[in-house]
Amino acid sequence: MSLRVGMKAPDFTMKGVFKGEFKEFSLSDHKGKWIVLFFYPLDFTFICPTEIREFSRRNGDFEKLNGKVFGASVDSVNSHKAWIEGELGELTYPLLSDITRKTSIDYNVLHDDGTALRGTYIIDPEGIIRWMVVSDMDTGRSVKEILRSLAALQTGERCQVEWEPGEKTLGAA
């Protein structure tokens, strides 16, 4: 069955790297938070570090919206750690390892070549998928748009095209 907005998000437990340490992270451990889960193809690639660094740079903005960011790929935690300690630099959120590819399958982002597509999911505090975008590997996503969408979802109202936080909405949904 394919995922759709309005469905319960598949729970996951994956090992990850955060601040140089390995730890397990589960969706169910973050009930009450807005989760932004994004998948990227592979460590040590061209577009991925631009997105990962931008999520890290904007992580405080997500936290102000009661958001928790997780990045995930099919790489091992050791690969994540080596990339962070080398080229990537310290991050403000964890990178998760979906080395088994189970979560990539559950979220319908596993590409035929065994890597993950660029999938992004906003999951509400009750565990429901409220926003999702899956795109080709060669086009980086807009972290600004993901933040805008998270803020719009939290209004509980209709938000017009190009709506920005602080602007008037179209009213109750």
pLDDT reported for residue 42: 96
Arithmetic mean of pLDDT, 155-170: 88
Residue 48 a catalytic site member: yes
Decide which of 169 and 16 is more confident.
16
Distance from C-alpha of 65 to C-alpha of 19, rounded to nearest angstrom = 22
Specify if 160 maps to a domain. no
Is 171 within the bounds of a domain?
no
Burial of 25 (0-12, 13-18, 19+ CB in 10 A): buried
pLDDT the model gives residue 169: 84
Give percent of the chain with pLDDT exceeding 90.
87
Q: 45 lies in a domain? A: yes
Percent of the chain with pLDDT over 70: 99
Domain span holding position 148: 13-20+31-155
pLDDT at 56: 98
Do the Cβ atoms of 15 and 23 come closer than 8 Å?
A: yes
Distance between CA 109 and CA 87 in Å, rounded?
26
CA dihedral 66, 67, 68, 69 (to 10 degrees): -160
Across 134-153, average pLDDT? 94
More confident residue, 109 or 168: 109
Out of 48, 69, 122, 147, which one is annotated catalytic?
A: 48
pLDDT band at 1 (very low <50, low <70, confident <90, very high): low
Asked if the model's pLDDT at residue 173 lies above 80, the reply is no
Q: What mean pLDDT value characterizes the chain? A: 95
CATH number at residue 37: 3.40.30.10
- Can you tell me the mean pLDDT for 32-37? 97
Residue 112 within any structural domain of the chain: yes
* 88-140 pLDDT per residue, tens: 999 999 999 999 999 999 999 999 999 999 999 999 999 999 999 999 889 99
Residue 54 within a domain: yes
Average pLDDT over residues 79-96: 97
What's the CA gap between 109 and 62, in Å, rounded? 23
Q: Quick check: helix, strand or coil at residue 47?
A: coil
Asked, for residue 69, whether it belongs to a domain, the answer is yes
Give the count of domains, the chain: 1
Cα 108 to Cα 155: distance, rounded to the nearest angstrom: 28
